[in-house]
């Protein structure tokens, strides 16, 4: 059965319109691979009007690995950062949003072409919900044989460019974990969805670098850090959120991998 639990995980005090500049406390119980079965979803409230969505994937060795996205309220609807990891989990995500938030999904942005970011795109397409991505992401997803986001975001071809999508500032800082990785910032909440360009605090290695640019990655992360000095809550692609120190941590990990 689908687990549609809305976890009571309060990360920080304060309101979305005036985020606290201090580093947030870690959630009391952020979902891990042991908490979410593949095909299921959990929603974790981060700040008013912003939730993390957590799905998982089971690898051939039996390891169950979690993946993060965001759900962000924009008036009488919500926007999502990234699909869930797989079609079944994306169906569960839409069911959870309907049951526990009660607002329609207006659009989704995928932060790069790997399957943990795009694999639910066809589920959204079948329901008339656009999934946006850069033209590079759409091309790379097609080349990889992954689900292809339905709509291109104009621009986002030159490092340092951005577009606005509903409540999100979508930024292309340059190559990193992949050539096309984007980040998405929620200005009203002080929350950055770093995607797989940003590592969780416990990560001590650069992870999957098959499509990475290890030389450009730290440069791109510094662009993110400099563009959003007010960010105080960072959601990595995998694992628990943390403060803006996750950006510095990720730079250190990637630079060590490139040595």
Model confidence over 16-69: pLDDT tens digits?
333 343 444 445 689 999 999 999 999 999 999 999 999 999 999 999 999 999
Is residue 3 predicted with pLDDT exceeding 50? no
Is residue 12 predicted with pLDDT exceeding 60? no
Is residue 93 predicted with pLDDT exceeding 70? yes
CATH architecture of 42-258: 4-Layer Sandwich (3.60)
Per-residue confidence (pLDDT) for residue 146, from 0 to 100: 98
Per-residue confidence (pLDDT) for residue 28, from 0 to 100: 63
CA dihedral 108, 214, 140, 31 (to 10 degrees): -40
| Confidence at 235, pLDDT banded by 50, 70, 90 | very high
Name the strand (E) or helix (H) holding 141. Answer: helix 135-144
- Please report, rounded to a whole number, the percentage of residues in the chain having pLDDT higher than 70: 89
Mean local confidence (pLDDT), 178-197: 98
Per-residue confidence (pLDDT) for residue 29, from 0 to 100: 82
> pTM above 0.95?
no
Q: Between residues 81 and 258, which one has the greater pLDDT?
A: 81
Distance of CA 136 to the CA centre of its chain: 18
Per-residue confidence (pLDDT) for residue 27, from 0 to 100: 54
Is residue 1 predicted with pLDDT exceeding 90? no
Q: What is the pLDDT of residues 188-220, one digit of tens each?
A: 999 999 999 999 999 999 999 999 999 999 999
């Amino acid at each position: 059965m689908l687990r549609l639990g809305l976890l009571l995980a309060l990360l920080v005090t304060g309101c979305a319109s005036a985020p606290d500049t201090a580093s947030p406390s870690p959630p009391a119980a952020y979902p891990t691979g042991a908490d979410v079965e593949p095909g299921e979803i959990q929603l974790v409230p981060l700040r008013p009007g912003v939730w993390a969505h957590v799905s998982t994937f089971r690898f051939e060795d039996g390891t169950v690995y979690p993946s993060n996205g965001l759900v962000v309220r924009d008036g009488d609807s919500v926007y999502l950062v990234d699909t869930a990891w797989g079609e079944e989990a994306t169906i569960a995500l839409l069911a959870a949003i309907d049951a526990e938030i009660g607002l329609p999904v207006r659009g989704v942005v995928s932060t790069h072409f790997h399957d943990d970011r795009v694999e639910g795109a066809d589920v959204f397409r079948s329901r008339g919900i656009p999934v946006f991505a850069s033209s590079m992401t759409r091309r790379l997803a097609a080349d990889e044989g992954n689900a292809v986001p339905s709509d291109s975001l104009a621009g986002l071809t030159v490092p340092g460019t951005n577009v606005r999508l509903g409540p999100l500032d979508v930024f292309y800082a340059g190559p990193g974990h992949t050539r096309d990785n984007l980040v998405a910032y929620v200005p009203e909440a002080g929350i950055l969805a770093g995607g797989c360009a940003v590592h969780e605090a416990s990560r001590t290695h650069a992870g999957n670098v098959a499509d990475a640019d290890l030389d450009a990655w730290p440069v791109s992360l510094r662009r993110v850090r400099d563009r959003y000095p007010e960010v105080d809550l960072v959601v990595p692609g995998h694992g628990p959120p943390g403060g803006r120190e996750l950006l510095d941590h990720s730079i250190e990990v990637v630079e060590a991998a490139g040595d």
